[in-house]
Structure 1
Amino acid sequence: MSGKTSQRLFRARLERMTEQLKNDMMSGALAPGDFLPSESALAEQYGISNKSVRQGLDVLVGEGLIRKIPRVGNQVTETAKELQATVTLGINSSLERDMAMSELLASFSRKYPSVRVRTITIPGNSRQFVKEYAESPLLDAFIINHQYFQSMEESGLLSTLEPLTPAEGTYRVLEGGFTADGVLYGQPLLFSPLVLCYNKDHFLEAGLPEPDSSWTWNDCIGTARRLTRRRERYGFVFYVMSDNRWPAFLLQSGEAFARGPDGGCDIAGTGLLDGIRLCDAIIHDRDMFPSVLSESNDDIGRLFETGKVSMMLTSYMSLNELKHSDIRYDISTLPYGREPRTLTVAMAACIRKGSADKRAAKLLVDYLSSVEGQMLIRRQTIGIPAIKPAAEAEVGEGLNRPSRYDLFRDIWPTMRFHRDLNLTSEGLGKLWGLLKTYWSHLIDDETLCAQVRDQLSDHVRHRGAGPVR
């Protein structure tokens, strides 16, 4: 080992020791009047010499956090009480449902009683969040999805975030959505691919085989029509207005938005346009799809739980609406068009670099991504924790979970993110505006393609000739 490498390793271990001792004081594990472990015990624990331990303890003495009592030991002082802190955490309104936020924060408070967590609800629109909250001193940390992260990256705001070390056991593919230039800025906490959820009793009554991974959209549409019963129930539904639903149809084209040789973005004759047309055909099929009753995710959940619809395109997170229900349901892979792909949504915690309580914010983020915190998510919700040991752990009864909960383990190769469409965050918003007009039948294919070329060409993330495949 070179001298420089050895020196870096020494500094890292020494810093880890002092930071852990401070965290123990902050959490109350080491209270004023308590004595630290002996110098020899600390040296063995952190793999450094007794001399190095003394150097680290001298730092804590200099900060007034401990006092050295000759021939007795190192005692925590009253000054350590000043390490107590308040962390303001920005969350969206669905996190209570998605990851049992109240129970998580209550568990954190029991473990670290000297850290008070205050929550603020952040806007549902990522561009509004970037404009009003990303640099705000009101927040010490926040939980966002990868679309919010993309907005921050494109707005040049990643420098406001604290670089993070990946939690052990995190699914690596999730880290990519919160990494820029090789630096992780968001600690993944949970994720979900879109899946097809179905009512088992409806299939049984109709004598139809349950969905499986071979299903195309034609299979889904044909079955949905057979399951529909006039004035009783519809066969299939999803929340059209959600940007965590409709992009799946475009991702299944196997293509992405790109500039042609002339610099324009042309989708005429592409799989992207085919995906847009397919979605249009589904949402306007009155023989299976209830348009008026699908105006919110809450509507979708209620329709399914009350037996008014047989199948829905949904996420693991939204399945939490069913966790205390009696309905017999299960999940299958998303039906596919050109390619078997599914949209995946991931959530991560970020720390604001300018936080006045950065150490306390890190303590919170570390807890949320720890095995303890992640197992609480696993036990109390149907969402998928971001670390493998928790996501794949066996849990007891108590919630109405799908028997095929482990489906996500088999479909990693099909999972895609919004960024795989190759549009900027603003461009995705512009695309949604165009699609609303198109799916309202106010413009035709030719006009849509012309407007995509006019409005999205400057919002393609990477140059290329023709659709990116």
Structure 2
Amino acid sequence: MDKRNSRKTSRTRLGDLVNLLREEILMGKRTAGEYLPSEKAFAEQYSLSNQSVRKGLDVLVSEGLIEKIPRVGTKVVGQPEGSFVTVKLGFHTSVTGEADILRLLSLFHKENPHIRVQAVPLSGYSYAYIHNYLTGGILDVVMMNYINFQEFLEIDNGDLLEPQQRNPELYPFLSDAFTTGDNRLLVQPFIFSPLILCYNRSHFQEANLSEPNSSWQWQDLIEHSNKLAIPNERLGFHCDLYSPNRWPLLLLQAGARFERSANGRIKLSGTPMMDALRYSKEMKHSIPYLSEGVTTGQSERLLAKGKVSMIMTSYFYLNYLLGEELPFDIAPVPHLGTPLTLLLNTGLAVYRHSQVKDAAVKLVEFLTSYQSQLFIRQHTYSLPARRLAAEWVGEEQRYRPSRFSLFRETMPCFRYFTDLGINATELAELNQELKLYWAGLENEESLCSSIEGSGQYA
């Protein structure tokens, strides 16, 4: 067992074991009739007692995923073929942690034993292939974020999705984002998050610095970052600026929109947007190692190890800090004078021609029910789309930052990348060009020439 796991409590380690087995069974990695390793083997692997392992396996027995055969072992359960319907759910792999989706699927199965859910992991930024997954019968329900949805509409695939009933219990602004111009809700909101600042409180206390607040502008962050950084020990600030879920933030805060020439192509030279891009580049050089070589969850892992004092992240990625002994809190992201933040929105769509559409709709209704949404609120750091669940107040089951509910006050500040005047295809294409510019591999003149002179930005 690695050092990271050795710092976890026995309860957390047991949860890791149960969640992993549940995931492997639901995703077909452990098939019906297969026997699990012994309780003793699990106990040694996860540094648990045999009794703790036994209690954990009992949870999976109660969910109908395994059965214990006296003096033989523990067997993965399967039902006779044809005794249930199977709904194939395409999901972002990150949501196994962001929404504990596999435990939710187990709860769904307990309430609907005649419906099995086959979890199909999806990968990649482009959702063009989802057309073939739907029409080929590979998926009945597909998870989409806002970028995925916009991309799907741009390639005229909206008619593949079943219009859904608008749920008044979900935040209206989330439903608005997944509603077409002809007032069809094609994706039901599931979880969401604005970009936020996350920081190590003890680092601020040790440096005798006041903690971040809503008045912070980017210059405040830069100044505090320089004071918090310790050469060869830790960074003051870290984030993945190159991510399409990050870099639009500064441009939105600058109040600029991509302008168009008469031919419809993006115009950049001499525009406020070019000024905003230039500022983004300058800020990157003001904070060394802002985004070089960043992988998913790296900023959060650095924060957990005490190697960075502040990160820009989301409620989704706070889940990388679950189980860590870290005195962290959150604050609104810094701004340029007008507080704005980028909103990330993930929902569930149903394939219109699914052979099991009724069961698929039932799954979406369950995942957006108060029961499931409250489960997300209580067991993760993600924000459920259902208002009463997101704003639930009660006895917490895990560490919760003191300013967790700040999202409620910052809702008027939420924006999407489309507020920049670009579509999902242009977002992806600009992302490639801007990486070169921000890395110093392309100057301003060549950036403008590449964007303005290429028909791909028309």
TM-score, normalized by length of structure 1?
0.77
Residue equivalent to 1:300: 299
Query: Following the alignment from structure 2 to structure 1, what is the Cα–Cα distance between the partners of residues 157 and 264?
Result: 28
Tell me the secondary structure at the aligned position of residue 297 of structure 1.
coil
Aligned equivalents of 1:298, 1:385: Cα separation in 2: 20
State how far apart, in whole Å, the 2-side matches of 1:182 and 1:360 are. 24
Q: Which residue of 1 aligns with 2:372?
A: 373
Percent of aligned pairs sharing the same letter: 35
CA shift, 1:255, in A, is 2.1
- Cα distance in 2 between the residues matched to 1:156 and 1:290: 37
Q: Equivalences for 1:284-323 in 2 at 5 Å?
A: 284-285=285-286, 288-289=288-289, 291-292=291-292, 294-323=293-322
User: 1:343 is aligned with what amino acid?
Assistant: L
Q: Deviations over 1:132-166 (max 9, x none)?
A: 43533110101110111111111111111111002
Give 1:254 deviation, angstroms.
1.3
Equivalent residue, structure 1, for 2:224: 223
8 Å Cα contact 1:330-1:402 kept in structure 2: yes
Q: 2:214: which partner in 1?
A: 213
Which residue identity lines up with residue 184 of structure 1 in the other structure? L
The residue number in structure 1 matching 2:133 is 133
In structure 1, distance between residues paired with 2:401 and 2:184: 36
Q: Which residue of 2 aligns with 1:334?
A: 333
Residue of structure 1 equivalent to 2:243: 242
* Aligned residue identity for 1:242: S
Alpha-carbon shift at residue 267 of structure 1 (Å):
2.4
How far 1:393 sits from its partner (Å)? 0.5
Q: CA deviation at 1:300?
A: 1.2
Structure 1 residue 400, shift from structure 2 partner:
2.3
Instruction: Rate the CA distance shift 1:269–1:207 in 2: closer, same or farther, 3 A.
Output: farther
Counterpart AA for 1:118? Q
Aligned to 1:362: 361
1:165 has 2:168 as partner: no
Deviation digits for residues 103-156 of structure 1 (CA, Å, limit 9, x no counterpart)? 110111111111100010112223444454353311010111011111111111
- Letter paired with 1:126: S
Aligned residues: 377
Q: TM-score, normalised by structure 2?
A: 0.78
Q: Are 1:174 and 1:346, in contact at CA under 8 Å, matched by a contact in 2?
A: yes
Q: Match for 2:280: what amino acid?
A: C
Partners of 1:282 and 1:289 within 8 A in 2: no
Query: Which has more radius of gyration?
Result: 1
Rounded Cα–Cα distance in structure 1 between residues aligned with 2:222 and 2:150? 34
Q: Which runs of 4+ in 1 moved over 6 A?
A: none
Conserved in 1, the CA contact under 8 Å of 2:149 and 2:178?
yes
Displacement of 1:308 in angstroms is 0.4
How many angstroms apart in 1 are the aligned matches of 2:232 and 2:444? 33
Q: Which residue number in structure 1 is paired with residue 409 of structure 2? A: 410
Instruction: Assess if the C-alpha contact under 8 Å between 1:254 and 1:338 holds in 2.
Output: no
Distance 2:338 2:449 in 1: 26
Q: Secondary structure at the match of 2:260?
A: coil
Post-superposition shift, 1:302? Answer: 1.2
Q: Pairwise mapping of residues 51-450 of structure 1 onto structure 2 (< 5 A)?
A: 84-130=84-130, 132-180=132-180, 181-261=182-262, 263-285=264-286, 288-289=288-289, 291-292=291-292, 294-337=293-336, 339-450=338-449
Work out the CA distance in 2 between the residues paired with 1:161 and 1:141.
9
Distance (Å, rounded) in 2 between the aligned partners of 1:257 and 1:437: 19
Compared CA separation, residues 162 and 262, structure 1 to 2 (3 A): closer
1:274 Cα offset (Å)? 3.0
Question: Could you list the per-position Cα deviations for residues 188-233 of structure 1 after superposition, in whole angstroms to 9, with x for gaps in the alignment?
Answer: 0110000011111111111111111111111111110111110111
Contact 1:108 1:367 in 2 (8 A): yes
Structure 2 CA distance for aligned equivalents of residues 393 and 245 of structure 1: 28
Q: Is the 8 A contact 1:275 1:337 kept in 2?
A: no
SS at structure 2 position matched to 1:411? helix
CA contact (8 A) 1:217 1:337 kept: yes
CA contact (8 A) 2:188 2:349 kept: yes
Does the residue aligned with 2:93 lie in a helix, a strand or coil?
coil
Shift in Å, 1:291: 4.6
CA distance in 1, matches of 2:309, 2:202: 9
* Structure 2: gaps of 5 or more residues: 1-80
| Shift in Å, 1:276 | 2.1
Please list the CA deviations of residues 244-288 of structure 1 after superposition, one character each: whole Å capped at 9, or x if unmatched. Answer: 1111111112122231446442223433223322332333345x5
Q: Distance in 2 between matches of 1:370 and 1:427?
A: 35
Letter in 2 for 1:345: L
Secondary structure (helix, strand or coil) at the match of 1:184 reads coil
Q: How much does 1:338 deviate?
A: 5.0
Report the AA paired with residue 344 of structure 2: V
Distance of 1:448 and 1:134 partners within structure 2: 38
Amino acid at match of 1:114: H
